[in-house]
A = this chain, B = another copy of it.
Amino acid sequence: MPVTIHDVARRAKVSASTVSRALGASHHVRGTTRDRVLAAARELGYQPNPAAQSLITGKTGNIGIVVPDLGNPFYTGVLRGVQSRARAGGYAVFFADCEEDASAEEALVRSMARQVDGVIICAPFSSDTQLNGLRSVTSLTLLNRRLRGVPAVFMDSAGGMKQVVDHLAALGHRRCAYLNGPHNAWSNRERRRGLRAAAARRHVAVVEFGPFEPKFSGGVQAADLALASGVSAVIAYNDLMALGVLSRLADRRVAVPDEMSVVGFDNLLYAAVCAPPLTTVAMPMEAGGRAAVDLLLAGVGTPADGDPTPCRELSTNLIVRATTAPAPDSSSAARPAPPPGPGKVTDTDD
């Protein structure tokens, strides 16, 4: 039923190989012949069979991407960037949601491996060992995860965190809570690293909680802990959690930002929309997706040379909205003093 290269060949009265050459590398085929072939192909509506092509060329024209959670707009943002760039380059894209499970992530990459030219793993949950195992099965590019020898694009979370701390310190906050995201997430480690460095420099004390699920419900859960710890500001791992915090604080009649400041990460649409609009760090999601595709496609076919593994770092920036304000007067002691909670206190004011 589908039209093959032989149908075109018959109609153009040439051989199949001539058709192939006329459509592809125009090497060694006369102009008039090529025109005839092209016309025949168009009339018949010929579309080459990708399976047959990839069987012989070894290239599939596809790339894959696996993300931890399709419900998180951050990942759908990078998905968007990936898909638009890939399509523009003539690539089709496979996707999969590993639901924040490392072994599912690995299995998905393996199952994709045979029908793609490479896969992008977004904020991988897998261990370095697992990831290294995957390198032999297909060409990899990572987003927000560092691994020796693997091309990757990073978003400067630590830099964003520095901006957050500077902002908070300028507003007079001396004691902040950080709500951890997943313990093994590179982004969480980076944010924490940036937080500690900046907090030390600005003489801000930090209380840490978590890890929590990086979702709305995680934020709801965390809010009470942060509230009990006597901080004047809480920095959430991401916007979803920050929104959960906001919701819980509203339920408990804690005024934001007057009694408590809240900061998130990602700059989702909903951060701008909610009441009050959330102060947050904008992450370049679509740009990250596009950059990952560029790196992946550039690396295809390049064996392990002596040249360094290509990386790209994308900058982030703080967007100040309505959930941050000057710290309430610390002498008022409206809230109970810091109790011995499950939080770990990193007091750098010495």
Interface size on A, residues (CB 8 A): 44
Residue among B50, B70, B71 making CB contact with A115, cutoff 8 Å: B50
A171 at the interface (CB under 8 A from B): no
Residues on B with C-beta less than 8 A from A84 are: 97
Residue among B62, B96, B250, B273 making CB contact with A243, cutoff 8 Å: B273
Q: Across the interface, do B92 and A93 meet the contact criterion of CB distance under 8 Å? A: no
Q: Across the interface, do B70 and A79 meet the contact criterion of CB distance under 8 Å? A: yes
Question: Complex Cα distance A2/B54, Å?
Answer: 14
Q: Oligomeric state, in number of copies?
A: 2
Q: Across the interface, do B80 and A97 meet the contact criterion of CB distance under 8 Å? A: yes
Residue among B95, B247, B273 making CB contact with A93, cutoff 8 Å: B95
The 0/1 profile, CB within 8 Å of B marked 1, for residues 83-124 of chain A is 110010000111111000000000010111111000000000
Q: Across the interface, do A97 and B115 meet the contact criterion of CB distance under 8 Å? A: no
Residue among B2, B48, B70, B94 making CB contact with A92, cutoff 8 Å: B94
Question: Complex Cα distance A124/B247, Å?
Answer: 36
A216 at the interface (CB under 8 A from B): yes
A346 at the interface (CB under 8 A from B): no
Question: Complex Cα distance A270/B270, Å?
Answer: 7
A163 at the interface (CB under 8 A from B): no
Instruction: With both chains docked as a complex, state the minimum distance between the C-beta of A130 and any C-beta of chain B, in angstroms.
Output: 15
The 0/1 profile, CB within 8 Å of B marked 1, for residues 57-76 of chain A is 00010100000001101001
Question: Complex Cα distance A274/B49, Å?
Answer: 49
A51 at the interface (CB under 8 A from B): yes
Residues on B with C-beta less than 8 A from A2 are: 114
Interface residues of A, Cβ cutoff 8 Å to B: 2, 47-52, 54-55, 60, 62, 70-71, 73, 76-77, 79-80, 83-84, 87, 92-97, 108, 110-115, 216, 243-244, 247, 250, 269-270, 273-275
Excluding A71-B77, A92-B96, 8 further A-B contacts by CB distance (< 8 Å) are A2-B114, A47-B114, A50-B115, A51-B52, A52-B55, A70-B76, A83-B97, A243-B273
